[in-house]
């Protein structure tokens, strides 16, 4: 024990103490942050994304509720979904050729969209205003039928859609 006590209590050269103090000061200054200007703030991009997500959530609830209020959700439902207006709806439902169906669409947001059938002989195009109003179109199933709901230029928001057998 005597030897350890001598090592600890032995005087150190001044340059060694200075080096240890300098390193301690450098480490402390690099890890401490007393500058309030460097506190993290939300960037406009992250704020916009969270606002966009909240808006999408709100509009999704609106369009789903509007669609549920006026359409039959019984056994006649074939397909349904919710999409962004900017992405549109694109489906090739598995339908019985020659049978009559109804596609119901609600769009909430800004701008306009339209329901488009391919082949066009199944039904004509139908305009959809993105104001939360339900629009529906009856059609007769054709072979390889595709239904699209396309947002027009500048349209934003959410689209809820459902296909029912009539």
pLDDT in tens, 100-111: 999 999 999 999
Beta carbons of 92 and 163 less than 8 angstroms apart: no
**Taking the CA atoms of the chain, what radius of gyration do you get in angstroms?**
33
Whole-number Å distance between alpha carbons of 45 and 52: 10
- Residue 163 host element (H or E): strand 156-165
For the CA atoms of 110, 115, 118, 122, the dihedral, rounded to the nearest 10 degrees, stands at: -170
Question: pLDDT tens for residues 30-65?
Answer: 444 555 555 555 555 555 566 788 989 999 999 999
For the CA atoms of 59, 64, 149, 100, the dihedral, rounded to the nearest 10 degrees, stands at: -170
Look over the chain and give the mean of its residue pLDDT values, rounded to a whole number: 80
pTM: 0.67
Q: Which residues contact 52 (CB under 8 A, 6 or more apart)?
A: none
Beta carbons of 67 and 125 less than 8 angstroms apart: no
The pLDDT value recorded for residue 144 is: 87
Higher pLDDT, 88 or 10: 88
């Amino acid at each position: 024990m005597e030897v350890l006590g001598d090592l600890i209590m032995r005087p150190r050269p001044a340059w060694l103490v200075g080096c240890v103090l300098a390193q301690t000061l450098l480490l402390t200054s690099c890890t401490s942050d007393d500058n309030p200007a460097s506190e993290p703030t939300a960037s406009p991009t992250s704020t916009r994304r969270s606002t966009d997500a909240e808006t999408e959530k709100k509009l999704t609830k609106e369009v789903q509720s509007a669609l549920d209020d006026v359409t039959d959700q019984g056994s006649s439902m074939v397909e349904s979904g919710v999409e962004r207006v900017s992405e549109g709806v694109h489906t090739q439902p598995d339908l019985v050729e020659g049978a009559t169906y109804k596609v119901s669409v609600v769009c909430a947001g800004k701008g306009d969209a339209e329901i488009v059938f391919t082949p066009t002989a199944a039904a004509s195009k139908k305009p959809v205003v993105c104001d939360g109003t339900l629009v529906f179109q009856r059609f007769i199933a054709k072979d390889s039928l595709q239904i699209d709901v396309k947002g027009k230029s500048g349209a934003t928001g959410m689209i809820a859609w459902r296909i029912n057998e009539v």
